[in-house]
Each structure stands twice: as structure tokens, then as C-alpha cells.
């Protein structure tokens, strides 16, 4: 009986492994990242894509901005903003929907700018949740100084279960 469970477990692990390998091999075909798109530019020339990043430089005379994307850390991506309304500053976070013209160059169709302090506000808003999570944890568990581990508290009499 134990051999049947072992064989079934090994078969399931093998199936999971082959599914992971297949997903890894097909990732760039169905959901390519920006680095793969730029390295294989001929395949994706004049395609519409969306990407985000942080503004590193603005040139209003040429109507061009440069953004830094985390997935392409070694190069700035040049974005042509001649056809859109743009009101960002260096350091702001930006989301772009545009047409890929040449490697590391996009002509923007739509731009969404998020100022840097509003982008970081999501982390500040989550700070009040920390004391609440600690309260719930210490309400359920207590620290045992003899074994140096947390143990579940015993239910008090008269307390609703």
C-alpha cells in the first residue's frame, strides 16, 4: 500500500516538474518581458506595448523623456511625448502605452504619471496594519521563555469559543 502512495507522489511531482519546464519555455512566446522584447526587436517592431518606470531625464525641446525600467537596469528607455499631454518631473513614476519604434525607443499614445510621494504613499498607508496584526498574533500565541518558541494560548473559561 505504501508503494502505491510513493509511486503516485513521484508521478505527481514529475508532472508538476514538466509543467514548470513547459511554462518556463513558453513564457517569452506568450508573455514576454520588456528586456526580451528589446533583445528581439525585429519580431516586435511597431507593436503596441505598455511599460512602467521612473523618469530619469526630461528634454522639453525635443519632447522626449527617458525612463528607467527595473527589468532593463542597464539602459534608459527613450519615450517620445510629442502626441500626448505630459506634466511630470524627474523622479516621478510613469506608466506608458505606446508604439515600439526602435530598440529602447517608444512613441507614447497614453501616459499616466504618479508623483513620487503618491507612489510611496501606499507603504505609509499600510503602517497602521502592523499593530493590529501584532495584537491578533499575541492574542493567540504567547512566548515560552524556557523553550524559546511561541505556543498557542489556552482558552480561558467563560470566553466564547
CATH number at residue 85: 2.40.50.140
pLDDT value for 98: 92
Residues 44 and 83 in one domain: yes
Q: What is the DSSP string of 87-115?
A: ---TT-EEEEEEEEEETTEEEEEEEEEE-
Residues 65 and 112 in one domain: yes
Residues 109 and 48 in one domain: yes
This prediction has a pTM of: 0.60
Asked if residue 83 has pLDDT above 90, the reply is no
Asked if residue 158 has pLDDT above 70, the reply is no
Average of per-residue pLDDT across 5-19: 96
Do the beta carbons of residue 69 and residue 62 sit within 8 Å?
no
Asked if residue 151 has pLDDT above 90, the reply is yes
d(Cα 105, Cα 109) in Å, to the nearest integer?
Answer: 13
SS3 56: strand
Show the domain range for 67: 34-116
Do the beta carbons of residue 93 and residue 53 sit within 8 Å?
yes
Residues 131 and 142 in one domain: yes
Query: How many separate domains does the chain show?
Result: 3
Asked if residue 14 has pLDDT above 60, the reply is yes
Digit-coded pLDDT (tens) for 89-136: 888 889 999 999 888 889 999 998 888 777 778 888 888 899 999 999
Q: Which residues pair with 145 in a beta bridge?
A: none
Amino acid at each position: 500500500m505504501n508503494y502505491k502512495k510513493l509511486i503516485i507522489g513521484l508521478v505527481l511531482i514529475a508532472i508538476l516538474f514538466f509543467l514548470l519546464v513547459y511554462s518556463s519555455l513558453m513564457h517569452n512566446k506568450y508573455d514576454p518581458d520588456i528586456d526580451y522584447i528589446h533583445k528581439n526587436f525585429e519580431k516586435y517592431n511597431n507593436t503596441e506595448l505598455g511599460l512602467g518606470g521612473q523618469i530619469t531625464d526630461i528634454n522639453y525641446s525635443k519632447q522626449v523623456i527617458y525612463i528607467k525600467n527595473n527589468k532593463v537596469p542597464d539602459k534608459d528607455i527613450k519615450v517620445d511625448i510629442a502626441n500626448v499631454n505630459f506634466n511630470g518631473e524627474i523622479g516621478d513614476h510613469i506608466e506608458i502605452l505606446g508604439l515600439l519604434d526602435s530598440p529602447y525607443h517608444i512613441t507614447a499614445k497614453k501616459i499616466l504619471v504618479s508623483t513620487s510621494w503618491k507612489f510611496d504613499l501606499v507603504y505609509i498607508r499600510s503602517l497602521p496594519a502592523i499593530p493590529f496584526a501584532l495584537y491578533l498574533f499575541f492574542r493567540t500565541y504567547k512566548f515560552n521563555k524556557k523553550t524559546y518558541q511561541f505556543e498557542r494560548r489556552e482558552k480561558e473559561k467563560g470566553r466564547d469559543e
